[in-house]
């Protein structure tokens, strides 16, 4: 994720945005003609999608994640980059948010560092366990830690409950990754960037003896953690890290599972040319730093792509298209029937939100839903499968709303 990387002069000016919107439309049409045989339409004529503030009484400080705990409590939790997690009732009338966790004293906060991810244990309702992934103070390192909710006050964290699970040394301050999530198999998946700088100078994406540039999968029901028996490199004699589930990723900032299909969707932030969306499978290599998206790193031809998995979707880096993908979710709610089954994602720097249709073999449509003018840091879903997104700078949580237009 490019939280503070340089942007183009006048990137938010009305004139610039108007010209970019026209260009985006043209580019999306070109993508549709090139990649899709069906009409590039997710919503029928006469329905418009808009971004609306979801909780009008609540504002957060640099929100990076939104999570439902899965315990039937009708609560939502928002992760703030500085090192705090706030909890509130999932209601439009919610007036206050309580501090669920404050570890700001041990979190390095700034640029691409901070409290980056939150995952509730599948049995959170009974055991109170949850996990956070963050940049530590004192040195370049990311850490996965377990905490436990207070049994007497579930809107707070039990004092002294922190258990450190996994530390990952980072050679640079950027490309920390950040998403953590439990998969349908009950194991914890962790998105880890390539360690930063440009062009992956340590070749971490392609080096299986490091955890950097990978999707990891671990068993956190055995502390500090166990290795699932079917991880791809269990028992290898080449020094490959057994935590690895998939590799060849640059900065997989946000990923999600789609339970009905069990597909793992990953938005991998690109460098200078391409933003990519991957369908990640066990033991596969997604190409970085041999490839960026579906093209070779400079020189842009002639690289050996043998065994490398190209993205299921990508978009390029002219100013008119975007610069930093924010992975989202396959929509499974009921409030937006036209989007059911579509993968909804965004570009962080442009604020555009798209819906992508995938039929199991190829992308059949990719539609621009809304040009929000927001720095979209993350998406989240509630217990009903309704979709929200976090705006980094204005601190609001938004939702998409549909309007049926008069014909």
Could you tell me if 217 and 251 are in contact, meaning their C-beta atoms sit under 8 angstroms apart?
Answer: no
Collapsing DSSP to helix, strand or coil, 264 comes out as strand
Q: Where are the alpha helices (H) located in 6-96, listed in sequence order?
A: 14-35
Q: What pTM was computed for the model?
A: 0.90
Give the DSSP letter string of 120-167. Answer: E-TTHHHH-EEEEEEEBSSSSEEEEEEEEB-SS-TTSBPTT--EEEEE
Q: How far is CA 248 from CA 80, 117, 184, 285, 286, in A?
A: 28, 21, 23, 5, 5
The whole-number pLDDT of residue 139 equals 87
Could you tell me if 355 and 42 are in contact, meaning their C-beta atoms sit under 8 angstroms apart?
Answer: yes
Question: Which of 212, 70, 78 is CA-nearest to residue 132?
Answer: 78
Could you tell me if 230 and 219 are in contact, meaning their C-beta atoms sit under 8 angstroms apart?
Answer: no
The whole-number pLDDT of residue 117 equals 97
Instruction: Report the alpha-carbon distance of residue 2 to residue 307 in Å, rounded.
Output: 29
β-pair type (252-258, 244-247):
unpaired
Tell me how crowded residue 244 is: count the other CB atoms within 10 A of its CB: 25
Could you tell me if 343 and 356 are in contact, meaning their C-beta atoms sit under 8 angstroms apart?
Answer: yes
Residues whose CB is less than 8 angstroms from the CB of residue 350 and which lie 6 or more positions away in sequence, other chains included = 20, 321, 322, 323, 371
The whole-number pLDDT of residue 195 equals 93
Instruction: Report the alpha-carbon distance of residue 323 to residue 347 in Å, rounded.
Output: 7
Instruction: Report the alpha-carbon distance of residue 292 to residue 277 in Å, rounded.
Output: 11
Instruction: Report the alpha-carbon distance of residue 246 to residue 253 in Å, rounded.
Output: 15
User: pLDDT, tens digit, for every residue of 45-101?
Assistant: 588 999 999 999 999 999 999 999 999 999 999 999 999 999 999 999 999 999 999
User: pLDDT, tens digit, for every residue of 134-186?
Assistant: 999 988 999 999 999 999 999 999 999 999 999 999 999 899 999 999 999 99
Contacts 24+ apart (CB under 8 A), 16-21: 17/371, 17/373, 19/320, 20/319, 20/320, 20/350, 21/371
Q: How far is CA 161 from CA 70, 189, 249, 319, 404, in A?
A: 20, 22, 33, 47, 49
Place of tokens 């049409």: 29
The whole-number pLDDT of residue 405 equals 83
Instruction: Report the alpha-carbon distance of residue 191 to residue 144 in Å, rounded.
Output: 11
Cα 179 to its chain centre, rounded Å, is 6
Phi, psi of 16 (to 5 degrees): -60, -45
Question: Which of 93, 100, 106, 94 is CA-nearest to residue 78?
Answer: 100
Instruction: Report the alpha-carbon distance of residue 207 to residue 215 in Å, rounded.
Output: 13
Q: Which residues of the chain have pLDDT under 70?
A: 1-45, 318-322, 407
Tell me how crowded residue 373 is: count the other CB atoms within 10 A of its CB: 14
Collapsing DSSP to helix, strand or coil, 253 comes out as strand
For 18, what's the count of Cα atoms within 13 Å in the CB-facing half-sphere?
Answer: 3
């Amino acid at each position: 994720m490019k939280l503070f990387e340089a942007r183009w002069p006048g990137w938010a000016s009305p004139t610039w945005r108007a010209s970019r919107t026209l260009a985006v439309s043209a580019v999306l049409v070109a993508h549709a003609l090139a990649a899709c045989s069906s009409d590039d339409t997710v919503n029928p004529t006469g329905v418009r999608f808009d971004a609306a503030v979801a909780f009008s009484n609540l504002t957060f400080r640099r929100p990076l994640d939104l999570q439902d705990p899965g315990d039937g409590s009708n609560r939502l939790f928002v992760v703030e980059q500085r090192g705090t997690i706030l909890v509130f009732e999932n209601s439009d009338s919610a007036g206050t948010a309580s501090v669920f966790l404050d570890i700001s004293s041990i979190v390095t906060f700034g640029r691409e560092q901070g409290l980056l991810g939150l995952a509730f244990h599948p049995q959170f309702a009974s055991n109170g366990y949850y996990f956070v992934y963050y940049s530590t103070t004192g040195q370049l390192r990311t850490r996965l830690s377990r905490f436990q909710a207070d049994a007497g006050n579930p809107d707070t964290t039990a004092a002294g409950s922190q258990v450190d699970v996994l530390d990952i040394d980072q050679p640079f301050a950027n490309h920390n990754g950040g998403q953590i999530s439990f998969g349908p198999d009950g194991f914890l998946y962790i998105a880890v960037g390539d360690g930063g700088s440009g062009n992956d100078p340590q070749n971490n994406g392609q080096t299986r003896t490091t955890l950097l540039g990978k999707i990891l999968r671990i068993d956190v029901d055995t502390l500090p953690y166990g290795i699932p028996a079917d991880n791809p490199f269990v028992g290898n004699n080449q020094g490959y890290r057994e935590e690895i589930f998939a590799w060849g990723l640059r900065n997989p900032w946000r990923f999600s599972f789609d339970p009905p299909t069990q597909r793992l969707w990953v938005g991998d932030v690109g460098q200078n040319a391409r933003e990519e969306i991957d369908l990640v499978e066990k033991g596969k290599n997604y190409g970085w730093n041999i490839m960026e998206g579906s093209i070779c790193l400079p020189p842009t031809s002639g690289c050996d792509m043998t065994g490398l998995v190209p993205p299921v979707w990508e978009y390029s880096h002219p100013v008119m298209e975007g610069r930093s993908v924010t992975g989202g979710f396959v929509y499974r709610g009921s409030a937006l029937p036209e989007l059911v089954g579509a993968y909804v994602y965004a570009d962080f720097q442009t604020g555009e939100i798209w819906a992508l249709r995938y039929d199991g073999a190829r992308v059949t449509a990719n539609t621009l839903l809304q040009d929000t003018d927001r720095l979209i840091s993350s998406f989240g879903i509630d217990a009903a499968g309704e979709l929200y997104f976090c705006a980094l700078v204005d601190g609001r949580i938004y939702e998409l709303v549909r309007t049926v237009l008069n014909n």
